[in-house]
Amino acid sequence: MAITAAEVNKLRQQTGAGMMDCKNALVEANGDFETAIDILRKKGQKIAAKRGENDASEGLVLAQATADGKSGVVLALNCETDFVAKNEGYLNLVQSLLDIALANMPASVDALKALRYDDRLTVDEKITEQIGVVGEKLDLSSYATITADRVAAYNHPGNQLATLVGLNSNTDVADDAGKQVAMQVAAMNPIALNKDGVDERTIEREIEVGKDLAIQEGKPVDMAEKIAQGRLAKFFKENTLLSQEFIRDNKMTVEQFLDSTEKGLTVTAFKRISLS
């Protein structure tokens, strides 16, 4: 049967698939719109099965806070090539997933995938459909949320890295400080908020390495423990957010910057997702 350009364009607008893919799907479906959508979805499933072992190390990371600034979401959708990642349609897809996450605040990647994307598909089904559109493996690889008195989001240029920071104050001053600290998290990649947040295994490893280095440097064995503790203190200072030197003024720590901005202001949580 004859397939009109309007029908092809309608299917293209709804699925994002190429014009020829849409026309072929409509021809195969004898003009039935819903059947054509299913044909495109099945194409995505076939490609997903074929490319399941491929490395999907490219993609986009986006972070955003809710309109009231009380919650935030950061997520990464991976693909195989930067050619796909740089496509405007891909950015729109990732933004649409972010919008759904912000509206629903699911607790995990699996919970996000189970949400409705639209009246036809779940998020997971939409991603599978888009695998058929772009011809590459797609993977919703990372997802995190923060809820706090104020949440600030930062998207690094190029959208390969994004961060969220939660603070204990909802003032405008706190909002600006949060954005600066969100940039700090992006640049300095802290492993915890403070030393209390560093897991015991990491601490034990740092002490052991510190002892070994001290002995290799010819220090007495009975001094090695003390030297290792000193190196651990330096490790905490360099790798925990509140103890790090503030990147905009290295004469103060992040903790001191926050307190000087607003008395008692501090970070309650942070999240960082990077593709590299």
How would you write the pLDDT of the chain (276 residues) with one tens digit per residue?
Answer: 678 888 888 877 777 777 888 888 888 888 888 888 887 877 766 666 666 566 788 999 999 999 999 999 999 999 999 999 999 999 999 999 999 999 999 999 999 999 999 998 899 999 988 888 888 889 999 999 999 999 999 999 999 999 999 999 999 999 999 999 999 999 999 999 999 999 999 999 999 998 888 888 888 877 888 898 899 999 999 999 999 999 999 999 999 999 999 999 999 999 999 998
- pLDDT at position 50: 64
Q: Which two tokens stand for residue 167?
A: 């603070």
What are the chain's domains?
5-50 (1.10.8.10), 58-193+264-274 (3.30.479.20)
Measured CA to CA in angstroms, residue 252 lies from 126, 157, 194, 231, 237 at distances of 47, 26, 16, 20, 12
- pLDDT at position 118: 92
